[in-house]
Amino acid sequence: MNYSITGFAYLTFFLAFGFLVYRFFQYWKREKDLVSKLWLYAVILVEIFTLIKAIGGLFFSTNPTFLEMTIDAAAAVEAFIFAILAYLIVYLKFPRVSPWLGLIPVLILGLIAFVLTVMTSFNPHLEESGAINWGFSSGPFVFAMAILRIFLALLVLTPIIIILFQQFKISKDLYAKRKAFGFSLSIIIASSSMLLDFLLVSFLKVDPIWRDIEYIAISIILFITLILTMPRPLPGSSSYYIKSSSKL
């Protein structure tokens, strides 16, 4: 059984996001509202995404068929992550609009991206450096899949970051400001690393080992950021999230 540095890199991400899942479980347990539940669902799905990649990289690095299955499975999970966040955006920013109008279109686009991923031909393999090259081929399906996934990421993550920064800006409570700033910064750190992976390795053909080194460094930074900025819920604290963001 051959292990890969890529699997270890995703494992570090899995551990970092594990702390985030734990914190959001605590927030949901304290608040017991829809917003905290949606955040919890979203970070659990991110944790599943990183777990899929970690398992593939750690235990099946020389099995191209299984590695290709992890690519498809991760794309499916990603579709539901984007859909939940789209629901959350509409719920927070447009309280008079049904949040399902955010979830359904994004979920459909995400599932289209998933289908394009399944239809795309990959050639994942373990390189001599110990990094996994996911083997993205060229062609219309690859281009369409890449553009659609990047579009969905920007469509959903940009408003989420803006909402959190607005929460940070208008809140007078230091505890709420700290969490809003920390979580928005964490999203920026994690999404930037994923985007760089997609662009640098898949299209500019940078050696995958540098991607894995970047992932390990980013996950350490992310974990430290979460430790410093995502404290446990304060007893009796009011909800950290804005239920109606129409005033922002």
Place of tokens 């966040």: 85
* Burial class of residue 128, CB neighbours in 10 A (0-12, 13-18, 19+): exposed
Tokens at residue 2, please?
A: 């051959």
pLDDT tens digit at each of 248 positions of the chain = 567 899 999 999 999 999 999 999 998 988 888 998 999 999 999 999 999 999 999 999 999 999 999 999 999 999 999 999 999 999 999 989 999 999 999 999 999 999 988 888 788 888 888 898 887 766 677 778 888 888 998 899 999 989 888 888 887 777 777 778 878 888 887 777 766 666 666 666 677 888 888 889 888 988 888 888 887 876 654 444 444 443 33
Q: Is the Cα torsion angle 133, 190, 50, 140 positive or negative in sign?
A: negative
Q: How far apart are CA 20 and CA 15, in angstroms?
A: 9
What CATH number does domain 5-229 carry, 1.10.357, 1.25.40, 1.20.1070, 1.10.3470? 1.20.1070
Output the pTM of the full model.
0.87
Tell me how far CA of residue 176 lies from CA of 30, 117, 173, 229, in angstroms.
14, 39, 5, 10
Please give the backbone phi and psi of residue 122, each rounded to the nearest 5 degrees, phi first.
-115, 155
Tell me how far CA of residue 182 lies from CA of 13, 71, 159, 224, in angstroms.
17, 29, 16, 10
